[in-house]
Chain A
Amino acid sequence: QKEVEQNSGPLSVPEGAIASLNCTYSDRGSQSFFWYRQYSGKSPELIMSIYSNGDKEDGRFTAQLNKASQYVSLLIRDSQPSDSATYLCAVNKTGRRALTFGSGTRLQVQP
């Protein structure tokens, strides 16, 4: 089992729709969870961080965390073509500050 698992996609949604990206992790002691967006050929940029169970909203983005199910998700409302990118889920490992990344989900927003 991978430490952080994501569906590689591509996930294709029409412009204006809600995109739902999912991530599961194996380390029950993890406390910090992040979503990064990475455009092709560029470095990852932070979208959201979440540390507590529940939802956290920032503009069109909502992160959801369920530690009991070891599951974190990212919802993008009113998806735009400019949201087309790979979304990386990252989790801290117990006892190590460095993050463990999933392999990413490629999102395509169709105009």
Chain B
Amino acid sequence: DGGITQSPKYLFRKEGQNVTLSCEQNLNHDAMYWYRQDPGQGLRLIYYSQIVNDFQKGDIAEGYSVSREKKESFPLTVTSAQKNPTAFYLCASSRSDGITSDTQYFGPGTRLLVL
């Protein structure tokens, strides 16, 4: 069953703590993305990666870091430098071969809360 999985579903962060959100896909997609969604707002791009071992900052990358060591995996670390991390985090993936490759499919999301 192909798709995108994110874990955990809920994550609690203490002050000064780094936390890592997992995103895995078995769709054989080259490109992966991380978005943040705050209540009542649209999605804002944090980081994206078009190929393994390469990634680019999005619009709100400060306080976040990513890695792309495998095609299937694109973990996001929320560092202590991110002062307002409470949000719904969404991972997405897409193909990378032509105009229709912009179609992105989303995982179920991780809700991050600060204790």
Could you tell me which A residues sit within 8 Å of B by CB distance?
4, 8, 31-32, 34, 36, 42-46, 49, 51, 88, 90, 92, 97-104
Known A-B contacts: A44-B90, A49-B103. Give 4 more (CB < 8 A): A32-B99, A32-B103, A97-B31, A97-B50
Closest chain-B Cβ to A52's Cβ sits at a distance in Å of: 10
Count A-B pairs with CB separation below 8 Å.
Answer: 61
Q: Is B28 an interface residue (CB 8 A)?
A: no
- The main secondary structure of chain A at its interface with chain B is strand
Could you tell me which B residues sit within 8 Å of A by CB distance?
31, 33, 35, 40-45, 48, 50, 58, 90, 94, 96, 99-109
* CA gap between A46 and B42 in the complex, in Å: 15
- The listed residue with most A CB atoms (<10 A of its CB), out of B42, B58, B109, is B42
* CA gap between A4 and B41 in the complex, in Å: 12
Specify the chain A residue showing the minimal Cβ separation from B106.
A43
B residues within 8 A CB of A32?
A: 99-100, 102-103
